[in-house]
Amino acid sequence: MKAPFININKVITLQEAAELVKPNDTLALGGMTLYRRPVAFVRALLRRPDPPDGLTLLCFTAGYESDLLVGAGCVRRVRTCYFGLEIFGLAPMFTKAFENMAKDLTTDPILQVIEESETSLALGLRAHMNGVSFAPSTAWIGTDMLRLRPDVQTLRDPFSGEELVAFPAIGCDVAVIHALAADRSGNVRLNTNLGVDRELAMVAKTVIVTAEEIVDQLDADVTISGAVVSAVVHAPRGAWPTSCYPLYPVGGGELLRYIDACNADQFDSYLAQAEAGNTL
What's the pLDDT tens digit per position in 164-182?
999 999 999 999 999 999 9
Among 96-105, 210-219, 229-238, the range scoring the smallest mean pLDDT is: 96-105
Domain boundaries, the chain: 14-133+169-275, 134-168
Tell me, what's the pLDDT at 278? Answer: 45
Phi-psi region of 180 (alpha: psi -120 to 50; beta: other; left: phi over 0): alpha
Going by pLDDT thresholds of 50, 70 and 90, the confidence category of residue 239 is very high
Residue 5 is classified by DSSP as P
Q: 178, 32 in Cβ contact below 8 A?
A: no
Report yes or no: 17 and 41 within 8 Å, Cβ to Cβ: yes
> What CATH number has the domain spanning 14-133+169-275?
3.40.1080.10
Helix/strand/coil for 28: strand
Q: Could you give the percent of the chain with pLDDT greater than 90?
A: 88
Q: Is the pLDDT of residue 207 over 60?
A: yes
Spatial contact of 183 and 214, defined as CB atoms under 8 Å apart: yes
Look at residue 104 and tell me whether its pLDDT is greater than 80.
Answer: no
Closest CA to 236 of 225, 248, 218, 253: 248
AA identity, residue 140: W
Quick one: pLDDT at residue 277? 61
Q: What percent of the chain has pLDDT over 70?
A: 94
pLDDT in the model for residue 280: 41
Report the C-alpha gap between 202 and 172 in whole angstroms. Answer: 10
Residues 91 and 84 sit within 8 Å (Cβ to Cβ): yes
- Short-list 205, 248, 208, 258, CA closest to 231: 208
pLDDT given at position 109: 72
pLDDT at 100: 84
- Residue 106 pLDDT level (bands cut at 50, 70, 90): low
| pLDDT of 66 strictly over 50 | yes
Q: Burial, 184: exposed, middle or buried (Cβ in 10 Å; 0-12, 13-18, 19+)?
A: middle
Predicted TM-score (pTM) of the model is 0.93
Long-range contacts of 49-52 (CB under 8 A, 24+ apart): 52/21, 52/22, 52/23, 52/24, 52/25
